[in-house]
C-alpha cells in the first residue's frame, strides 16, 4: 500500500470526487494542505482577500452548475470563524460547499494555543457535519463521509478541521482503491404520486409551487413537462426562479410579500389547490399561514422529512427528491392523459394569463436622479435570456426580483434565507468560475457592495469578468423603509460630502463613497450613470470593457435618495408606493405586454 501524508491523500480524494475548484487563503496551520495542492496540480485555487469572501466564492461556484462543490480553505482560528457566515448562507439554501481549516497540533488543542479555537463546535449548527480530525488514519474516511453527506438528502455544507500534525502524518492510502460512498436520496412511490394527483385533479384552480429543490435536482425540464401535461400554472419561489422560464405561458408569477408579482399574488389567492415541490414555505413567500392556506388544499413534496409540516400541515406530505417525485408524477399523469382522465384547465390558465397582461408595475420613469425601476427596465433590454443574475438582499434584490426576467435554472443565483450583506461580489466571482465565458451580472445596493468590496481585486487578479450593477442611493434602503413603521430614519443614511472626490457632480458629491475610484483602485473598470437616458449606453460600454480587459466592470447608478419598493404584510396587502402601469409604454419590458 502506498505511504503518503494525509494531505496528499485528501487532495487525491478531492480530485476523484470531482471537487477541483478551491478558494481560500494560505497560512501557517494550513500550509501542509497547500503544499499538497501545489504538488498535485489538479486543484485550481483562487486567492481571496478575506476568508468570508472565499466561502461565498465557493458558494457561488456550487450554485453555478449542477454537481459543483466549491471548496473553501483557510488557516486556523479566525479563518474558520470567518467562514461561518458562508457556511450559514450555504446551509440555509441547501448548497454543498466543503470548508477545510488548519488547526493547532492535537496536543495543544486544550492549551489555548495561538489561533486555536473549537471550530467544530462553532460550525456544527450551520453544517451537515463539522469534524476536527484527531487521528491521521481517519482523514480519508472523513473526506469520504463529507462528500456523501453534502450530496445526500437535502444538500448542504461540511467543515473539516485538520490539526497541523495530523496533516503532516504519514498513512497508508491507495487512491485507486478509494470509491465515493453512495448518495442517498428518498424517492416518492407510485401510490404517493397517485394520491397527489387525485387531490390536484379534484381541484378547479390548481397551482404548482416550484422550489429550489427542483433546481438542485436538475429537474427543471421535468417540471415544465409536468406543468404542460397537466396544463397547470406554476409559481416559482425566489430560490426556484428559472425552473420554468418567465416567458412560458404557464409561468404564473412569483408570490410573496416582497419578491413577488402583482399577478402572482392574485393568482395564488384565486387558487384552490397547491402542490409544492422542493420548497419550504418561507415566510417572505407565504405571509401569514392563515391567509396563505385559507380556502385551498396542499400537497408538500420535499427531500427533507422534517420540512414536512414545519410551517403548516399539508393535506398530503411526501418525502422525496424533487426529480424522483417528478418522474413518478409524470408517469402517472401520462397514463391518465392517455385515458382521458385529466381535467381541462384551459379556462383557469387563460384567467392567469389575463392577469399577467393587466397587473403590471410601472418601470418607465424619466426622472433624474434615477428611479430604480428604470434601471431594471434597461437591464431587461441590455441583457439576453442567457444572462445569470447574482444578488443577495436589500431593496435592490427585491425590486430586481419584481422587475427582471429569468429564463432558465441557475440563472438567478441568490442568497435567499441568510441574505448576508457583502455576499454578492464574491459569490459572483465564484459563479464566473463555474460559468466560464457566460454573461454574469451582479446586482447590489451601495451597502451590500461596500461590505466585501476588496474581493473585486480577486476578479482583477484572476481575470474573472462580470458586470456589477450598483444602485446607489447612499442609504440602507430596506432598513430605512422598515423604519417607517417606527416613524424614524435613524442611522441608515450613508451620505456625506466626500472632500476627496473632485470632479463629481453636485448630486453624486453628496453620496459619500466614490465607488468608481475605489473599484478602479482595485484593478476594475467602472462607469457612473446619473441620467436614465444614459443607462443603455453604459451597459453597452460595460460589455465592451469586460470583453477587452477581462475584469469586473462596475456600473454605478445614482438613484434618488428615497424610494419605497412594493411590499406588504399579506398577499392581499402589498403597498404600491409608485403609480402602476396603465399603458404598454409604462412597462415596455414586462414579460407580457400590458393590455391597454
Of 127-141, 292-306, 433-447, 467-481, which gets the smallest average pLDDT? 467-481
Query: What sign has the CA pseudo-torsion 244, 249, 254, 260?
Result: positive
For 330, residues 6+ apart whose C-beta sits below 8 A from its C-beta are: 222, 225, 226, 229
- Residues contacting 544, CB < 8 A, separation 6+: none
User: Please, which contacts does 264-268 make with residues 24 or more away whose CB atoms are closer than 8 Å?
Assistant: 264/235, 265/571, 265/572, 265/574, 266/355, 266/359, 267/207, 267/233, 267/235, 267/352, 267/355, 268/207, 268/235, 268/292, 268/571
Q: What is the mean predicted confidence (pLDDT) over 290-314?
A: 96
- What is the model's pLDDT at position 596? 63
Residue 389 has pLDDT above 70, yes or no: yes
Distances (CA, A) of 144 to 3, 11, 14, 196: 19, 12, 9, 37
Give the pLDDT confidence score for residue 594 in this predicted structure: 84
Label residue 495 by pLDDT band (50, 70, 90): confident
Helix axes 31-40, 6-17, angle to 10 degrees: 50
pLDDT at 41 over 70: yes
Q: How far apart are CA 409 and CA 64, in angstroms?
A: 10
Question: Which of 237-241, 529-533, 576-580 has the lowest average pLDDT?
Answer: 576-580
Q: In the 8-state DSSP scheme, what is residue 160?
A: E
Residue 396 cell numbers, joined: 435592490
Residue 581: exposed, middle, or buried by beta-carbon count in 10 A (0-12, 13-18, 19+)? buried
> Residue 336 to residues 230, 316, 330, 482: CA-CA distances in angstroms?
10, 20, 10, 49
Helix (H) or strand (E) holding 277: strand 273-277
CA distance 371 to 368: 7
pTM: 0.96
**Local structure of 24: helix, strand or coil:** strand
**pLDDT averaged over the chain?**
95
Does the pLDDT at position 203 exceed 80? yes
Cα–Cα dist 289/297, whole Å:
13
For 169-202, the pLDDT digits (tens) are 999 999 999 999 999 999 999 999 999 999 999 9
Do strands 574-575 and 567-568 pair parallel, antiparallel, or not at all (unpaired)? antiparallel
Q: What are phi and psi of 208, to 5 degrees?
A: -110, 125
* Residue 110's pLDDT band (cuts 50, 70, 90): confident
Rounded CA-CA distance 193/328 in Å is: 6
What's the confidence (pLDDT) of residue 108? 82
CA–CA dist 186, 21 (Å, integer)? 29
CA angle 72, 82, 490 (to 5 degrees): 130
- Percentage of residues in the chain having pLDDT higher than 90: 88
Amino acid at each position: 500500500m502506498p505511504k503518503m501524508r494525509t494531505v496528499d491523500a485528501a487532495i487525491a480524494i478531492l480530485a476523484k470526487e470531482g471537487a477541483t475548484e478551491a478558494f481560500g487563503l494560505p497560512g501557517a496551520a494550513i500550509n501542509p494542505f497547500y503544499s499538497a495542492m501545489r504538488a498535485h496540480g489538479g486543484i485550481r485555487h483562487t486567492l481571496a482577500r478575506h476568508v468570508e469572501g472565499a466561502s461565498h466564492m465557493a458558494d457561488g461556484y456550487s450554485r453555478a452548475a449542477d454537481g459543483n462543490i466549491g471548496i473553501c480553505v483557510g488557516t486556523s482560528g479566525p479563518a474558520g470563524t470567518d467562514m461561518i457566515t458562508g457556511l450559514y448562507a450555504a446551509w440555509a439554501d441547501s448548497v454543498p460547499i466543503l470548508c477545510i481549516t488548519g488547526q493547532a497540533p492535537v496536543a495543544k488543542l486544550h492549551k489555548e494555543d495561538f489561533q486555536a479555537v473549537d471550530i467544530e463546535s462553532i460550525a456544527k449548527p450551520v453544517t451537515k457535519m463539522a469534524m476536527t480530525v484527531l487521528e491521521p488514519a481517519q482523514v480519508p474516511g472523513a473526506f469520504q463521509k463529507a462528500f456523501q453527506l453534502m450530496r445526500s438528502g437535502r444538500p448542504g455544507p461540511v467543515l473539516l478541521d485538520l490539526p497541523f500534525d495530523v496533516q503532516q502524518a504519514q498513512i497508508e492510502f491507495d487512491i485507486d482503491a478509494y470509491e465515493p460512498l453512495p448518495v442517498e436520496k428518498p424517492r416518492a412511490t407510485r401510490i404517493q404520486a397517485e394520491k397527489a394527483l387525485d387531490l390536484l385533479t379534484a381541484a378547479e384552480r390548481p397551482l404548482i409551487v416550484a422550489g429550489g429543490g427542483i433546481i438542485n435536482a436538475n429537474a427543471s425540464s421535468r417540471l415544465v413537462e409536468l406543468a404542460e401535461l397537466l396544463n397547470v400554472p406554476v409559481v416559482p419561489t425566489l430560490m426556484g426562479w428559472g425552473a420554468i422560464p418567465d416567458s412560458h405561458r404557464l409561468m404564473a408569477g412569483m408570490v410573496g410579500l416582497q419578491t413577488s408579482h402583482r399577478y402572482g399574488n392574485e393568482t395564488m389567492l384565486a387558487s384552490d389547490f397547491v402542490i409544492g415541490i422542493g420548497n419550504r414555505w418561507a415566510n417572505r413567500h407565504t405571509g401569514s399561514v392563515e391567509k396563505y392556506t385559507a380556502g385551498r388544499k396542499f400537497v408538500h413534496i420535499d427531500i427533507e422529512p422534517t420540512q414536512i409540516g414545519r410551517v403548516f400541515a399539508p393535506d398530503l406530505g411526501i418525502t422525496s427528491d424533487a426529480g424522483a417525485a417528478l418522474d413518478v408524477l409524470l408517469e402517472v399523469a401520462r397514463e391518465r392523459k392517455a385515458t382521458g382522465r385529466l381535467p381541462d384547465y384551459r379556462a383557469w390558465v387563460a384567467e392567469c394569463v389575463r392577469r399577467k397582461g393587466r397587473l403590471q408595475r410601472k418601470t418607465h420613469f424619466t426622472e433624474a436622479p434615477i428611479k430604480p425601476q428604470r434601471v431594471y427596465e434597461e437591464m431587461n433590454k441590455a441583457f439576453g435570456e442567457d444572462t445569470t443574475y447574482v444578488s443577495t438582499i436589500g431593496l435592490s434584490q427585491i425590486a430586481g426580483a419584481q422587475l427582471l426576467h429569468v429564463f432558465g435554472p441557475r440563472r438567478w443565483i441568490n442568497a435567499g434565507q441568510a441574505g448576508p450583506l457583502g455576499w454578492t461580489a464574491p459569490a459572483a466571482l465564484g459563479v464566473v468560475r463555474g460559468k466560464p465565458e457566460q454573461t454574469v451580472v451582479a446586482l447590489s445596493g451601495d451597502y451590500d457592495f461596500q461590505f466585501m468590496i476588496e474581493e473585486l481585486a480577486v476578479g482583477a487578479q484572476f481575470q474573472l469578468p462580470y458586470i456589477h450593477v450598483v444602485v446607489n442611493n447612499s442609504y440602507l434602503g430596506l432598513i430605512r423603509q422598515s423604519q417607517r413603521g417606527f416613524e424614524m430614519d435613524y442611522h441608515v443614511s450613508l451620505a456625506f460630502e466626500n472632500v476627496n472626490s473632485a470632479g463629481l457632480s453636485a448630486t453624486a458629491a453628496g453620496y459619500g463613497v466614490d465607488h468608481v475610484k475605489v473599484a478602479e483602485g482595485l484593478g476594475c473598470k467602472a462607469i457612473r450613470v446619473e441620467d436614465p437616458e444614459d443607462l443603455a449606453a453604459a451597459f453597452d460600454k460595460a460589455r465592451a470593457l469586460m470583453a477587452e480587459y477581462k475584469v469586473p466592470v462596475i456600473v454605478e447608478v445614482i438613484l434618488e435618495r428615497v424610494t419605497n419598493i412594493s411590499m406588504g404584510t399579506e398577499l392581499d396587502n402589498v403597498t404600491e408606493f409608485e403609480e402602476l402601469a396603465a399603458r404598454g409604454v409604462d412597462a415596455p419590458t414586462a414579460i407580457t405586454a400590458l393590455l391597454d
